[in-house]
Amino acid sequence: MSFLELPLELRLIIYEHAAVEGAAVTIGVCELTGKGADIVHRVYGDERAPLPGLPPNHEPAVISTYSSRLLSVSDPARVDASSASSPALHHSTLSSLLLLNHQTNAELSTHFRPKNNKDTSLFVQYPLGLHVFKTKCPDLIQHARSIHIAGSCPKPTSQSDLDHLDQLAGLVSTTLAKSPRFPIEKLEARIYFPGENSYPRVWDDSSPASVILRNVCGGFIDMEVARGRHGTGVYVSVRSHPDNKRVISTVWRRLVEGDHGQPSCGDWAVDKQWPEWNSEFTPSSPLP
């Protein structure tokens, strides 16, 4: 007996067990390297097309595990275009089932209501990972217990840079507004601002830290600002408050990086304890 010959009630039970995500999903982009012909085939071969909104020679990546490399600022993820592997795109189980065939799609759309199994931590590269999240896998928000954002924030130079801020604002509002559609336990963002004089940009209206603060209705908001010679790091941690009160604390630290024997510039953006995280706020270790 084939799967589609089983009673509908039994198939719905199987769908319920199948539509569960893993402990971590990482969302970002990879730069394509190698010969020009290989890059063109990687982007356009087999009826593929580049994802609008990404820089040339970049492809989206959605990985069903934690990948610090995909989040890295100092050593961004790259893929050899001559590699035989296909683009690293993970689709949620539910979205894959919807694409299986017409009957499965109809059954899921009409009869199936997935359980709210908020067990997955989403790790999102900033800023392009937000675009990939919105366009390729928005349904993953239904499974999110926490969201962790990491990346670099150069000074905005185009409309696409502002679009990323709108996507961030929408994500925060969806998960941490007064009556969020998809509530989560915690959102944290570790954003690196490159440049010796980058500190003032932390508080600009176009700063992701400012966007998060504007779109959080209430909660425990803890901020750390790490200032260094080569750049500034901002860590924002937001947890829901039972009474929707807004409680904010901020500390300043020294950021040591970029010189001989020190971490590379931007390493700070990726938390060394990830994919592990605490539901409470955990301050960074003091720097020497």
Domain boundaries along the sequence of the chain: 3-269
C-alpha to C-alpha distance for 110 and 11, rounded to whole angstroms: 13
Per-residue pLDDT tens digits for 50-63: 888 899 999 998 88
pLDDT at 230: 94
Q: Which residues contact 278 (CB under 8 A, 6 or more apart)?
A: none
Can you point out the beta strands (E) in the chain?
A: 24-33, 58-63, 78-80, 120-126, 144-152, 186-194, 219-227, 231-239, 246-254
Please state at what angle helix 208-215 crosses helix 159-176, rounded to 10 degrees: 30
Report whether pLDDT(212) > 60: yes
User: 254 by DSSP, 3-state: which?
Assistant: strand
User: Per-residue confidence at 94, pLDDT binned at 50, 70, 90?
Assistant: low
Cα separation values, 189 from 127, 207, 283, Å: 11, 12, 13
- Please tell me whether the peptide bond between 288 and the residue prior to it is cis, using omega within 30 degrees of 0: no
Per-residue pLDDT tens digits for 28-75: 999 999 888 888 888 888 778 888 889 999 999 888 889 999 999 999
| Max Cα distance, the chain (Å) | 68
Per-residue pLDDT tens digits for 105-142: 676 666 655 555 678 899 999 999 999 999 988 888 88
User: 73 by DSSP, 3-state: which?
Assistant: coil
User: 176 by DSSP, 3-state: which?
Assistant: helix
Q: Which residues contact 210 (CB under 8 A, 6 or more apart)?
A: 203, 204
